[in-house]
């Protein structure tokens, strides 16, 4: 394939993703009034299962409680973001919640709730190492928000064996 053809393909693909993301954001926003929409919660629950896999409690009910706590803390975090950052995150979550966006950005064919932790981890790793900046940025946002929201809560520290900050 010639370089010019490859560049045209890249430009067209980017335009399609932007249009699809904009349409998805209008139809099903990732955030609603600064909080996760049902679609956004689904994405972050699945990403949380994968990113925090070894840090989450093993028992199913406790694991579910930990993931619900994560989603509540993500809500708190998103409410504290400036409006432009909320809009960008909402667009990303809308895109990831759609089948086409999920496949394009993550390479994940399964719907978020049906995908295994291992498959989501593989998809996130592919995003992290991608030559496409948009995929790397999406990975960084998902990973960093998930980790910050989870590990910032004192209730998660005993599971990790972390005693907390040293008193001075």
Write out pLDDT tens, residues 117-143.
Answer: 999 999 999 999 999 999 999 999 999
**If pLDDT is split at 50, 70 and 90, which confidence band does 2 have?**
low
Nearest CA to 31 out of 20, 19, 43 is that of 43
Distance CA 146, CA 158 (A): 18
pLDDT in tens, 23-74: 544 457 898 988 999 999 999 999 999 999 999 999 999 999 999 999 999 9
Task: Output the pLDDT for position 146.
Answer: 97
Whether residue 10 is predicted with pLDDT greater than 70 in this model: the reply is no
Average pLDDT score over residue span 85-95: 95
What is the sign, positive or negative, of the torsion defined by CA atoms of 6, 7, 12, 16?
positive
Task: Output the pLDDT for position 70.
Answer: 97
Task: Output the pLDDT for position 129.
Answer: 96
């Amino acid at each position: 394939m010639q370089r010019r053809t490859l560049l045209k393909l890249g430009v067209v693909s980017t335009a399609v993703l932007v249009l699809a993301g904009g349409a998805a954001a209008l139809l099903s926003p990732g955030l609603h009034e600064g909080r996760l929409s049902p679609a956004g919660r689904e994405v972050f629950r699945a990403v949380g299962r994968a990113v925090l896999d070894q840090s989450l409690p093993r028992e199913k009910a406790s694991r579910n409680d930990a993931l619900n706590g994560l989603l509540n803390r993500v809500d708190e975090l998103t409410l504290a973001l400036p409006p432009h950052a909320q809009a960008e995150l909402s667009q990303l979550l809308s895109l990831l919640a759609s089948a086409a966006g999920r496949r394009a950005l993550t390479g994940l064919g399964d719907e978020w709730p049906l995908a295994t932790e291992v498959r989501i981890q593989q998809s996130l790793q592919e995003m992290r190492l991608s030559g496409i900046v948009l995929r790397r940025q999406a990975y960084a946002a998902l990973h960093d928000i998930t980790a910050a929201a989870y590990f910032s809560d004192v209730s998660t520290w005993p599971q990790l064996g972390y005693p907390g900050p040293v008193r001075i």
